[in-house]
């Protein structure tokens, strides 16, 4: 799937977000090295700490399907934005050099960065 299609997929995933408390919908499209794409949307909870981020939902779906290597992640949210610190750490476990495309709600690219740029000196399996 090319990057335009990944962006469209992240936008569609965003439309499925469950965000009744913040009204801050996020969608994610994670492409594995196999070429398969996994979607995620944020899922809020009345107990705010139990909210699941779109990026981790997509990653969890991929891991359940046996994926362990990833190439690119597109996240779609109002005005664009980067993954939170927790998502950065969880993604780093699998793909320290993951490309991340951050797009706004219209699909316009706001920023592109590698995960290692967003999480310098990340803690991973080699840190143990």
Q: Provide the annotated active-site residues.
A: 55
Q: What is the DSSP letter of 18?
A: B
SS3 content of the chain, % helix, strand, coil (to 5): 30, 25, 40
Question: Residue 119 is encoded by which pair of tokens?
Answer: 């999480």
Strands 109-114 and 99-103: antiparallel
Among left, alpha and beta (phi > 0; psi -120 to 50; other), residue 80 is left
Q: How far apart are CA 1 and CA 3, in angstroms?
A: 7
């Amino acid at each position: 799937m090319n990057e335009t299609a990944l962006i469209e997929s992240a936008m569609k995933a965003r439309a499925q977000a469950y965000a009744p408390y913040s009204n801050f919908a996020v969608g994610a499209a994670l492409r594995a090295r196999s070429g398969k794409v996994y979607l995620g949307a944020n899922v809020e909870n009345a107990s705010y700490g139990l909210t699941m981020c779109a990026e981790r939902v997509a990653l969890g779906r991929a891991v359940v399907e046996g994926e362990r290597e990833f190439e690119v992640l597109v996240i779609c949210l109002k005005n664009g934005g980067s993954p939170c610190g927790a998502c950065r750490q969880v993604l780093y476990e699998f793909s320290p050099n993951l490309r991340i495309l951050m797009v706004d709600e219209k699909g316009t690219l706001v920023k592109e960065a590698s995960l290692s740029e967003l999480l310098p000196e990340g803690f991973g399996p080699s840190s143990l």
